[in-house]
Each structure stands twice: as C-alpha cells, then as structure tokens.
Amino acid sequence: MTDDAQQQAHPGTDRELDPPADHGEDTYRGSGRLEGRKALITGGDSGIGRAVAIAFAREGADVALAYLGEDEQADAEETARLVEESGRRARLIPGDLSRAEECLRTVDSAVEGLGGLDILVSNAAYQMTRHELQEIPDAEWDHTLAVNLSAYFHLVKAAEPHLREGASIIATTSIQADSPSPQLLPYAMTKRGIESLTASFAQLLGPRGIRVNAVAPGPIWTPLIPATMPPEKVADFGKDTPLGRAGQPAELAPAYVLLASDEASYISGAVLPVTGGRPML
C-alpha cells in the first residue's frame, strides 16, 4: 500500500483512506442490467458496499444503504449522493445489525422507502486482529458472530416474505473461509459459516425462484484494513497474491452485478472468488 502505513480508529472511514480506494466513481458504466430493481446493501456506506451501490445504481437499481451509525454518516451520505447522481433513489438506514430486531427494522425500512425489495446484499462485517487466543475477548467473539453470521440469517428471514420469483440474495464471504489466518480467527470462522448458510438458503428458497449466492473477496483495500490491522500488515497488504497487489472495491462490484442480474438465472448456491489469483478449491 504505502511505505508509511496508515492506521485508523475502528471501523474506519473512506474519506480518511490513504491512498483513496477506487469504488468505480469514474469508471463504472452501466447497461441497464438491474433496471427498475430495488436493492438493500448492508455496510453500504464505504468499501465494497459503496462500490456495489454505485454499480447497482448505474445498472438501474434504487438502493437502500444500511450502515452502523453516526461515525459512518458522512461516508453513507457520500454514497447516497453517488447513487442519486446516477439517477436512482437512495435511502439511508443506520442501525446495529448485531441485534435481530434491527435486522428486521432495516429490511422493513428498505421495503417502505423503495416500495419493495428485489436484491439483498448482506455485506456488513466486523473483524479485529488478535495474535494470541487469550487476547480475544469473549464479547468480541460474540459480537463478530452476531454482525457477520447471525445478521445474515436474520436479514434473509426478514426479507423472504418481500421477495418474488427472480429475486437475488448475495452475501460477502472471504478467502478467509477457505484459508483462515489465525490472527482473524472469529472473522474467518464466520465467513465459513456464511458459505454454509448460503448453500442452505439456496436450497430452501430455490423452489420460490429466489437465488442465493456469495462473493468471496481476497485482500481488498477498504477502511477496515487500516482500522483492524497493524502497520506492517497494512504496508504489505495484498502483496502475497499472484497478482502482487490488493484489489480495489471497484474490481468486486461486477461480481455482485452478475449475481443480481438475470444473466445469473441458473446460478444459485455458488461462491464466486475474487481473490487476485489466490486459489479457493
């Protein structure tokens, strides 16, 4: 990344990211693949969520952006501006998705604000680097499971009654699900769980014509990295991939567009790796 590796307070913000991330602001060109659809993206204020929101809007979708709260407000408002600049509606929904009732409220707010729901992207996540098992607080373990894994379950359960045939659910998992780093133990475990949930959801909801898939990013340059990793890890972030660099959020967005679109009409229960060449077998 940089020789003088940046650090941020958790959860980090896009506006302070150095070097800035590319979310496709100047590069993504839509072709109407999601015209008229309504999408809810959790963690939609920054990073991968912002890139997906921009791409969805430029493909013709209205977008509800769920984000944690006040610290992310400025980032969320900037993402909403980019959605609206693309000619689509944006709805901002702050809330703590570690609580089941907030997952239900978030879905209801998105449906009310957009007039329905066609696409759910469960993307919000929590991670923290810990070098020893005894360093992991019990509360941090519980919180990581609640945000990364339980919220996915609660969001899908809340969204299902609103989804019609042709709807798409997409979760963000990680290469950590396949190649876990011990320093990210709780995070990696939840990402493996997301893959299992995705396979189960695909089988449960398939008879209704609802597709469920996941995208597995490799090292992607987002605010979560300088906010949760030590400086030496930030400085070398992504250099261990075959492509020799971290990916940008904009490089992930097309995978979500594909899985949300009719072009993926027979893809369900799949995990799509976007890892810079690191294998997931």
Residue 11 pLDDT greater than 70, yes or no = no
Check residue 9 and give its pLDDT. 67
Q: CA-CA distance, 265 to 267, in Å (whole number)?
A: 6
Q: CA-CA distance, 195 to 60, in Å (whole number)?
A: 28
If you average pLDDT over residues 117-134, what whole number do you get? 97
Q: What pLDDT digit, counting tens, does each position of 195-244 carry? A: 999 999 999 999 999 999 999 999 999 877 887 777 777 888 888 999 99
Of 119, 51, 108, nearest to 79 (Cα)? 51
Q: What pLDDT digit, counting tens, does each position of 144-183 carry? A: 999 999 999 999 999 999 999 999 999 999 999 999 999 9
pTM (predicted TM-score): 0.94
Backbone phi, then psi, for 37, in 5-degree steps? -90, 165
Residue 95: band (very low, low, confident or very high) from pLDDT cuts 50, 70, 90? very high
Q: CA-CA distance, 173 to 45, in Å (whole number)?
A: 18
Q: How many residues does the chain have?
A: 281
Check residue 222 and give its pLDDT. 85
Check residue 16 and give its pLDDT. 73
Residue 1 pLDDT greater than 70, yes or no = no
Q: Which of 28, 126, 187, 256 is catalytic?
A: 187
Neighbouring-strand partners of residue 212:
169
Which of 70-74, 108-112, 158-162, 255-259 bottoms out in mean pLDDT, i.e. has the lowest?
Answer: 70-74
Within 8 A by CB and 6+ apart from 262, the residues are 33, 166
Check residue 4 and give its pLDDT. 54
Both structure tokens of 78: 């900037």
Report percent pLDDT > 90 for the chain. Answer: 85
Burial class (CB in 10 A: 0-12, 13-18, 19+), 113: middle
Check residue 236 and give its pLDDT. 85
If you average pLDDT over residues 56-70, what whole number do you get? 97
Check residue 204 and give its pLDDT. 98
266 has catalytic annotation = no
Residue 2: band (very low, low, confident or very high) from pLDDT cuts 50, 70, 90? very low
If you average pLDDT over residues 62-82, what whole number do you get? 96
Residue 278 pLDDT greater than 50, yes or no = yes
Mean residue pLDDT of the chain comes to 94
* Structural domains of the chain, ranges and CATH numbers in brackets: 38-274 (3.40.50.720)
If you average pLDDT over residues 92-103, what whole number do you get? 98
